Amino acid sequence: MTSKNIKVEVRNIRGEMIDTFLLGKKKKHQPEKTKETEAHEKNGE
């Protein structure tokens, strides 16, 4: 039981790391788009 739980936790941690890595890549490759979306959100559009 404990080994299965540990595997699940490792998978979750890896998934989070992959998600943050992909988000970081998107932000680096699309800095203008993120700034535009933030401006639209501030304006309430």
Task: Indicate the domain borders of the chain.
Answer: 2-43
Are the C-beta atoms of residues 30 and 37 closer than 8 Å to each other? no
pLDDT bucket at 14, cuts 50 / 70 / 90: confident
Name the pTM for this structure: 0.30
* Stretch 29-35: mean pLDDT: 57
Q: How many CA atoms lie within 13 A of 28 on its CB side?
A: 6
Question: Is the pLDDT reported for residue 45 higher than 50?
Answer: no
Helices (H), 1-45: 2-29, 31-43
